[in-house]
Amino acid sequence: MSEPTPTPGPVQPLVLEPVADDGVRAVAVGLVLWLVALVACLLLGGALVDRGAAWWTWTAVSGLLIGTALLAYCVRRARVYREHVDPPRADGRG
């Protein structure tokens, strides 16, 4: 006979620490990738139209527009956070 499976005890929730990243680099990389996608779509424009996939170009344009707005938000958020964490000193050195 097999032994009974032990019942697990109470589940302990994980304590997660916040990530120390402002997101600017990730958004900038995403913007570069959208730009590469847009250039590729423009180079392949005729082939995309022939296959009914011209919407890919507009998807890349939309990605660039949304990414630009998100980059502005992330840069502003990072600046405000840095000012809050490291306020400028009265002697002008920092």
**In sequence order, which residues have a C-beta less than 8 Å from that of residue 35 and are 6 or more positions away?**
60, 64
Q: Determine phi and psi for 29, rounding to 5 degrees.
A: -65, -40
What is the extent of the structural domain holding 64? 24-84
- Could you tell me how many residues make up the chain? 94
Determine, yes or no, domain membership for 48. Answer: yes
Decide if 55 is inside a domain. Answer: yes
Instruction: Say if 15 falls within a structural domain.
Output: no
In a domain, 58, yes or no: yes
- Number of domains the chain contains: 1
Residue 37: its pLDDT value, please?
Answer: 96
CB 6 within 8 A of CB 35: no
Per-residue pLDDT tens over the stretch 30-78: 999 999 999 999 999 889 989 999 999 999 999 999 999 999 999 999 9
Task: Report if residue 2 sits inside a domain.
Answer: no
